[in-house]
């Protein structure tokens, strides 16, 4: 199943570089950059999206940049709670909502049970394995992003493309439903 939305707003500066050479290579570079970010760079990253970098916002963004596996609010909260005992689930939820509003994080609706969050804001599709539930990145060329041909009265704000199937690892295992 494929869902199309359209995003006219410009992405993070780095995203533009992604399109200059084959996207797959730059996806790796993009992930590497995230993994090597210092706290100061995370603050700059938040500020580049016009987000005031409070302690909790920086901690949540750092988590998002270090966990590119599309975590849920529950996962983020559970993982951060031991290091930030004052954290509440509402704060995690509201912070992610702010990040999404400012386009620093994408909300992914590929999972029917939970909204998932993705700090990788360059255009890419997602593939969900229907057996193990793993969500994989699918690189997209800019030319592969569909143009919105709906009524001018409709003002789309996002594009998301989802693929569903089975990963090779699961295909080779005896069939088990989840
Ligand atoms: Zn799988
Ligand atoms: Zn993603």
Tens of pLDDT along 80-98? 999 999 999 999 999 999 9
Quick check: 13 pLDDT over 80?
no
- CATH number for domain 13-171, candidates 3.40.50.150, 1.10.1040.10, 1.10.10.10, 1.10.3720.10: 1.10.10.10
**Predicted confidence band at 56 (pLDDT cuts at 50, 70, 90)?**
very high
d(CA 99, CA 113): 21
d(CA 143, CA 141): 5
User: 29 CA to middle of ligand 1, Å?
Assistant: 25
State the ligand closest to the CA atom of 170.
1
Mean pLDDT for 21-28 is 52
pTM: 0.75
User: 24 CA to middle of ligand 1, Å?
Assistant: 21
Mean pLDDT for 140-158 is 88
HEC readout, 109-136 = CCCCCCCEEECCCCCEEEEEECCCCCEE
Phi, psi of 151 (to 5 degrees): -60, 145
**Predicted confidence band at 27 (pLDDT cuts at 50, 70, 90)?**
low
State the ligand closest to the CA atom of 126.
2
The full set of domain ranges for the chain reads: 13-171
Look at 84-88, 99-103, 169-173 and tell me which has the smallest mean pLDDT.
Answer: 169-173
User: 139 CA to middle of ligand 2, Å?
Assistant: 9
Q: Collect residues with CB below 5 Å from ion ligand 2.
A: 118, 120, 137
State the ligand closest to the CA atom of 128.
1
User: 63 CA to middle of ligand 2, Å?
Assistant: 15
Handedness of CA 148, 119, 76, 1 (dihedral sign): positive
Handedness of CA 107, 110, 112, 117 (dihedral sign): negative
Tens of pLDDT along 129-147? 999 999 999 988 888 888 8
State the ligand closest to the CA atom of 121.
2
């Amino acid at each position: 199943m494929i869902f199309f939305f359209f995003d006219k707003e410009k992405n993070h500066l780095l995203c533009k570089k992604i399109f200059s050479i084959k996207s797959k290579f730059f996806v790796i570079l993009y992930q590497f950059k995230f993994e090597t970010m210092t706290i100061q760079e995370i603050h700059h990253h938040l500020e580049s999206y016009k987000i005031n970098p409070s302690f909790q916002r920086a901690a949540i963004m750092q988590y998002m940049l270090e966990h590119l596996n599309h975590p849920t609010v529950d996962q983020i909260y559970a993982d951060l709670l031991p290091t930030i005992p004052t954290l509440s689930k509402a704060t995690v939820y509201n912070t992610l909502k702010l990040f999404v509003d400012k386009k620093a994080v994408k909300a992914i609706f590929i999972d029917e049970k939970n909204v998932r969050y993705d700090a990788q804001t360059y255009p890419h599709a997602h593939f969900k394995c229907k057996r193990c539930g793993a969500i994989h990145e699918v690189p997209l060329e800019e030319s592969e992003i569909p143009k919105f041909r709906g009524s001018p009265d409709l003002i789309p704000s996002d594009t998301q493309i989802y693929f569903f199937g089975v990963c090779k690892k699961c295909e080779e295992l005896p069939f088990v439903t989840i």
